[in-house]
Amino acid sequence: MADLTTIKKRVIDLLGANEYDADGVKMYSATSGDEDFSDDAIARAIEEAKIITAERVCLSDNSTLKKPFVLTNQTITHGALIPVHYGNIFNVKITPYDGADFTIDGQKRKSQLISSYRANFDEAYGTVAHDEMDDSFDTDVPSQLAGFYSEEEGLFEFTGDSATINYADFTNVELSNYPTSLEVPITHIAVGLMAKDGTVSEKFGEHMQIGMALLGDVIAEKDESE
């Protein structure tokens, strides 16, 4: 997994900076000019680079790479706000009726249709409600209305008795849990973020471009291997 010490050392090396103490404060003095970078500034840049990297991973369809950021089997009620997340919710599982010992893979539909299924006015869709068992069969058969969901304007709606979802959220994930393959992109992006107001050097912009390109390559490479 990603290592903060390794990333920090690489950032310092790429900055062309020398470590020294000034008035008891650890500093890094760039050898290329009059730029001074404090320990706190480097830490902030790495933290921001970490966020940029994780957000892009979570917004991708790369299930392998974003696995450390995924919260699985999260219970959610009908009409509830979906928790803060990045990218689409996925692996929606719906228990069709109370007491069912199996789940249905959720199928996405428009919110208006979910409301129509749940209401089933004048039994337009049959006599079995969306969250009941169809007792016209000898085996445990759910209602034909069960197993659908919508996610519109941040709200989760579904048909059936209960539901769980998976979603990606990196906000509480420590860097030590990030895949090692993200170390180099984070390093270059962090250097790109170290530019100060009035900086004329192009090195910062170049490192940002390199970091984003490498991140895209890592995401694409993992996608191909799935």
Task: Give the C-alpha separation, 82 to 71, whole Å.
Answer: 12
- What's the pLDDT at 138? 74
Evaluate whether 191 touches 28 at the Cβ level (below 8 Å): no
Q: Residue 169 pairs with which residues in a beta bridge?
A: none
Strands 107-108 and 148-152: parallel
- Work out the mean pLDDT of the chain and round it to a whole number: 87
pLDDT > 70: percent of the chain: 86
Rg (CA), the chain: 25
- What's the pLDDT at 149? 98
Task: Give the C-alpha separation, 17 to 28, whole Å.
Answer: 6
Task: Give the C-alpha separation, 72 to 89, whole Å.
Answer: 10
Strands 86-95 and 162-168: antiparallel
pLDDT for 89 beyond 90: yes
> Which ranges of 34-102 does DSSP label H, i.e. alpha helix?
39-59
Task: Give the C-alpha separation, 11 to 19, whole Å.
Answer: 12
Segment 147-202, tens digit of pLDDT: 999 999 999 999 999 999 999 999 889 999 999 999 999 999 999 998 765 555 67
> Which ranges of the chain does DSSP label H, i.e. alpha helix?
4-15, 39-59, 111-119, 183-192, 203-225
Task: Give the C-alpha separation, 127 to 60, whole Å.
Answer: 42
pTM of the predicted structure, to 2 decimals: 0.80
Q: What is the DSSP string of 85-96?
A: -EEEEEEEEEE-
41 or 95, higher pLDDT: 95
Measured in whole angstroms, the distance separating CA 63 from the mean position of its chain's CA atoms is 10
Task: Give the C-alpha separation, 100 to 141, whole Å.
Answer: 9
- What's the pLDDT at 36? 63
Instruction: Quote the longest CA-to-CA distance of the chain.
Output: 82
Q: For the purposes of burial, counting CB atoms within 10 Å of the CB of 2, is it exposed (0-12), middle (13-18) or buried (19 or more)?
A: buried
Evaluate whether 186 touches 56 at the Cβ level (below 8 Å): no
pLDDT > 90: percent of the chain: 64
Every domain of the chain and the residues it spans = 4-64+179-225, 69-168
122 or 29, higher pLDDT: 122
CA distances for 147 relative to 113, 166, 191, angstroms:
12, 16, 48
Segment 26-75, tens digit of pLDDT: 555 544 444 567 778 888 999 999 999 999 999 998 888 999 999 999 99
CA distances for 178 relative to 51, 54, 65, 158, angstroms:
11, 8, 9, 33
- What's the pLDDT at 225? 44
